[in-house]
Chain A
């Protein structure tokens, strides 16, 4: 199944587009998404450690705008957002 990850904050540096897209097995979880993003960073940014740190300290948000756990099962074509460490005001 195809999954789109919407990028925010520091994760916007991962791509020129506003999102990343991955092919995942059915019943994949957020944990699998983290792994996929790290693999993508290894391939495209020579494993940039700062970028990996961002992924590991981020939470994720479901299409219906809830912060979700690493065990959350993603449904087909669901749009997920990555929420890196925040700091507004």
Chain B
């Protein structure tokens, strides 16, 4: 069971409650909620906010691939997964990503939650532009996507 969405922050905020409603089931004994929030410091610079950019279709595709891989690579068959990522300008402390997972047991819930966030970092086309004092801003360097076809 999977829910994925890229949320335009101008329209709504990400909600842990919605994540909880989606993964909640008496089938599962363990739930993990991960949320990423905008931090006030990076590389010794004071950060005022972050603009997130996203290639929505590829992002959703990557979320689905990561979910499906959990079957084969991690052998976690029974699970509920909720992934939402924000796009647009976020202030300090606002939530940029929610990953909620529910599994039968805690071991697999911890493994799955960690696996999803690490894979998203590696391959979901999302970009961050940090904003500083004096209207200064910069796109963060990021990691190149490896194209296996090349």
Could you say which residues of chain A place their CB within 8 Å of the CB of B150?
69-70
Chain A nearest Cβ from B132, distance in angstroms: 16
A61 to B125, CA, bound (A): 11
Q: With A81-B55, A88-B126 as given contacts, are A69 and B147 in contact (CB-CB < 8 Å)?
A: yes
A89 to B87, CA, bound (A): 11
A61 to B55, CA, bound (A): 10
Interface size class of A (residues with CB under 8 A): 20 to 34
Could you say which residues of chain A place their CB within 8 Å of the CB of B57?
65
Cβ-based interface call for A3 (8 A): no
B143:A83 contact, CB within 8 angstroms: no
B127:A68 contact, CB within 8 angstroms: no
A67 to B123, CA, bound (A): 11
26-83 of chain B: CB within 8 A of chain A = 36, 52-55, 57-59, 61
> What total count of A-B pairs have CB within 8 Å?
88
A17 to B72, CA, bound (A): 42
Shortest Cβ distance from A67 into B: residue: B147
A60 to B97, CA, bound (A): 25
Chain A nearest Cβ from B53, distance in angstroms: 5
A57:B54 contact, CB within 8 angstroms: no
A83 to B53, CA, bound (A): 11
Shortest Cβ distance from A58 into B: residue: B144
Cβ-based interface call for A47 (8 A): no
Could you say which residues of chain A place their CB within 8 Å of the CB of B52?
88
* 5 A/B residue pairs, CB under 8 Å, sorted by A: A57-B144, A69-B149, A87-B127, A88-B59, A89-B96
Name A residues whose Cβ lies closer than 8 Å to a Cβ of B: 8-10, 12-13, 57-59, 61, 65, 67-70, 81, 83-89
Minimum-distance CB pairs A-B, first 5: A88-B126, A9-B127, A85-B142, A87-B142, A10-B139
